[in-house]
Amino acid sequence: MFLTLLASTMPPMTTAIIRPVSRSIQECELTHMDRDPICYETACAQHQAYVEALESLGVTVIELDPLHHHPDAVFVEDIAVVCDDVAILTRPGAESRRGEVESITPILSAHRPLAHIEDPATLEGGDVLLAERTFYIGRSSRTNDAGIDQFRSIVTPYGYEVVAVDVPGALHLKTAATYLGEGRLLANPEWIDMDGLEDLELIAVHPDEPFAGNVVRIGEVMLFPKQFPHTAGRLEARGIQLIQVPSTELAKAEGSLTCKSVIFQANA
């Protein structure tokens, strides 16, 4: 009781859970991309730059143990979704990734009540886009209708809405679109069905940069991949402040920037 009262008076602290790149990253899952050799050392260096960018914004970073026998384990976003009220442990659509989930449970149970996506449902965090009180959830090769339904029953009691969005052209919904705050969506409209998203103001990626729709938003600042200068220009022209980070190596594993962390507000 005392601890609960104390926690409710503490200022929230932006926290990011991350995990080192697995030495087996070359064996990663690929869905919409051809295999291109990935340099483990470069991937680690770029991942470190990502972590440092988060820390430069005052984010507290918690590092999980590596899971070298799980090639995709660096992409922690897919195994858990955390909102202010609850942490949802997912059941990844990629079978090779299901063994990653358990390892994030202890840290999340210290911060939120836990809920679970259960068989036959599948859902990956890369398909979950939160904009204010609405969760847009990608219906993709990794997230099925049962996953969306289970997610809806978990979050509806907390006052969230859930809208399903078809994702015909990308791995996950957030491969193609992320929320910038203030009702704005950065997106590649070629890859997703924009129908459910029409309440949001679309800022389209530059046509030469189809993968530029994924940013990590920390307050007013956005981490953005360095390799997309045209889309960066579009965002900066609207007064959006970017920190550009190199992310070419894990992009070859079909990973975007958001994939590499689970970000939530923890009580200090």
Per CB under 6 A, the list member of 59, 77, 197, 257 interacting with ligand CIR is 77
- The token pair that represents 233 in the structure block: 């220009």
Catalytic residue among 70, 111, 172, 230: 172
Stretch that binds ligand CIR, among 129-137, 155-163, 171-179, 237-245 (CB under 6 A): 171-179
Place of tokens 């599948």: 122
- The token pair that represents 151 in the structure block: 């997610």
- The token pair that represents 100 in the structure block: 């990653």
Residue 213 lies near ligand CIR (rule: CB under 6 A): no
- Report whether 165 contacts 151 (CB < 8 A): no
Stretch that binds ligand CIR, among 14-22, 150-158, 188-196, 248-256 (CB under 6 A): 248-256
With CB under 6 A as the rule, give the number of residues binding ligand CIR.
18
Count of C-beta atoms within a 10 Å radius of residue 234: 18
Residue 255 lies near ligand CIR (rule: CB under 6 A): yes
- The token pair that represents 35 in the structure block: 């295999």
Residue 175 lies near ligand CIR (rule: CB under 6 A): yes
Per CB under 6 A, the list member of 28, 64, 117, 192 interacting with ligand CIR is 28
Which residue, 98 or 267, has its beta carbon nearer to ligand CIR? 98
Residue 100 lies near ligand CIR (rule: CB under 6 A): no
Residue 27 lies near ligand CIR (rule: CB under 6 A): no
Question: Residue 74 CB, nearest distance to ligand CIR (Å)?
Answer: 9
- Report whether 103 contacts 75 (CB < 8 A): no
Which residue, 61 or 267, has its beta carbon nearer to ligand CIR? 61
Per CB under 6 A, the list member of 16, 22, 54, 75 interacting with ligand CIR is 75
Q: What are phi and psi of 111, to 5 degrees?
A: -115, -25
Per CB under 6 A, the list member of 19, 38, 72, 191 interacting with ligand CIR is 72
In DSSP terms, which residues pair with 13 in a beta bridge?
266
The residue type at 205: V
The residue type at 76: V
What distance separates the 2 farthest-apart alpha carbons in the chain? 55
Q: Return the closest-CA partner of residue 144 out of 119, 177, 176.
A: 119
Instruction: Find how far residue 58's CA is from the centre of its chain.
Output: 19
Residue 171 lies near ligand CIR (rule: CB under 6 A): yes
Residue 130 lies near ligand CIR (rule: CB under 6 A): no
Is residue 44 annotated as part of the catalytic site, yes or no?
A: no
- Report whether 40 contacts 21 (CB < 8 A): yes
What residues act catalytically?
172, 259
Task: Give residues in contact with ligand CIR (CB under 6 A).
Answer: 28-29, 31, 72, 75, 77-78, 94, 97, 126, 171-172, 175, 253-256, 259
